[in-house]
Amino acid sequence: MPVGQEERQFGARAGTATLEKNGNSGVAVSLENVTKSYDGVTAVDAVSLQVRQGAILGLLGPNGAGKTTTIRMVMNILIPDEGSIRVFGEPVSDETRQAIGYLPEERGLYPRMEVRRVIVFLAALRGLSESEAEKRANEWLARFDLSDWAEKKVHDLSKGMQQKVQFICAVLHKPKIVILDEPFSGLDPVNTATVKDIMLELRDQGSTIVLSTHRIEQVEKMCDSICLIDKGHNILAGDLRAIKQSYGKNTVNIEFSGPDGFLNHPAIASVNRFASGAEAKLKPGADPQEILKLAVESGARINHFELLEPSLNDIFIEKTGHA
């Protein structure tokens, strides 16, 4: 083993010691002021973040926000220019990434290997016996409707099927931490739902999940906490419930027929009009009751009136000023 690796290990052991002293065991992954730039472009700028053990963290933001760079640094694939990253209290190293099941953004499978062989090989590398790996591979392949493809070569599969195989490889060995970079890309709604179900199952079994995606609306219901990233900056992080509550119920969903002139009321900040009604975002301090009253008075027939928390998308737009 190279000398450098030994040094890293010593570093890691020192980290364990401080961890035990602090009793800081609730955090699976923590980033502190992490910065990374390529050729003068800052991809990740002073991001700090904590992922609670046993929670699902949504790492959200538009394309090019710095999500993948952040994940690669956690995986010790990229080395941050500044700041520190810890996994279970230990500085990231070749060793810490062994605890992580990883689904990279791009496909990472041997194209000329048979599907089941790849899965069994990667699982065996994670310490499973080959017979156990094979048993679990068959179960997972069946669950994803891929049993007929088990003997086919990876490059014969469609992009969505490869994505499913890659997902199986990331979770088959039940890792303590699962990092999924755009897990839904190429998946149809049925498979997207399956992947979501499995993520919730894994969380219930105690795994910590980091989920990175640019499709904010797709994941907001399943995340325990979120981290919104834009242009390398962490613009909002924390418990999803707490964040939403801090914004209050400032959106009105109103279904009606008849005149819609009441939607021009000055207390309404923005309107999203549908065939059967509208979603209106109120200005801070505005009273939703006022809007209802105005609507009824204007002659509109109200079928449904509901106060909503802002969607993550709305919060993101408000925070960044762009979609």
Partner 1 sequence: MRKTWLIIKREYLAGVKTRAFILTTIGLPLMGAGFVLLIMFLANRQPTQTFRLVIVDEAGGMAWSVSQGLDAKLPNGQPEFTIVESVDRPPSPDRVQDDLRSRINSGALDGYLLVPADLSQSAELHTHNPGNFSLEGPLTAAVNRAVILKRLDARGVHVEDASAIANAPDLKLIKVSKTGESVEKGQSIGIAIAVVVLLYVSLVAYGVITMRSVLEEKTTRTMEVLVSSVRPFELLAGKVLGVAGLAFSQLLIWAVSAALLVSYGALMTKASGATSPTSDVHIPGSLVVYVVLFFVGGYFLYSAMFAAIGAACSSEQDAQYLQWIAMGPLVFTMFIYTLILTDPSSTLSIVLSEIPFFAPVLMPLRISLQTPAFWQIGLSILLLFLTAVGVIYASGKIYRIGVLMYGKRPTIPELARWLRYS
> Helix, strand, coil % (nearest 5) of the chain?
40, 30, 30
Asked if residue 5 binds partner 1 (CB under 8 A), the reply is yes
Residues touching partner 1: how many (CB under 8 A)? 31
Asked if residue 111 binds partner 1 (CB under 8 A), the reply is yes
| Residue numbers 189-228 binding partner 1 by CB under 8 A | none
The correct pick among 23, 63, 106, 321 for binding partner 1 (CB under 8 A) is 106
The correct pick among 31, 60, 109, 226 for binding partner 1 (CB under 8 A) is 109
Q: Which of 70, 104, 57, 68 is nearest to 222 (CA)?
A: 57
Q: CA 22 to CA 54: how far, in whole Å?
A: 19
- Closest contact distance (angstroms) between CB of 104 and partner 1 is 5
Q: CA 162 to CA 159: how far, in whole Å?
A: 5
Torsion angle, alpha carbons of 202, 32, 39, 68, to 10: 10
The correct pick among 46, 53, 107, 203 for binding partner 1 (CB under 8 A) is 107
The Cβ of residue 40 has, within 10 Å, a number of other Cβ atoms equal to 5
Phi, psi of 38 (to 5 degrees): -115, 130
Asked if residue 126 binds partner 1 (CB under 8 A), the reply is yes
Do 135 and 172 form a contact (C-beta atoms < 8 A)? Answer: no
Q: In degrees, to the nearest 5, what angle opens at C-alpha 173 toward C-alphas 167 and 177?
A: 75
Asked if residue 2 binds partner 1 (CB under 8 A), the reply is yes
- Closest contact distance (angstroms) between CB of 97 and partner 1 is 5
The correct pick among 169, 237, 295, 312 for binding partner 1 (CB under 8 A) is 169
- Closest contact distance (angstroms) between CB of 41 and partner 1 is 13
3-state secondary structure of 293: helix
Asked if residue 321 binds partner 1 (CB under 8 A), the reply is no
Asked if residue 104 binds partner 1 (CB under 8 A), the reply is yes
The correct pick among 13, 33, 84, 94 for binding partner 1 (CB under 8 A) is 94
Q: Which chain residues interact with partner 1 by CB under 8 A?
A: 1-2, 4-5, 8, 75-78, 94, 97-98, 100-102, 104, 106-113, 121-122, 124-126, 166, 169
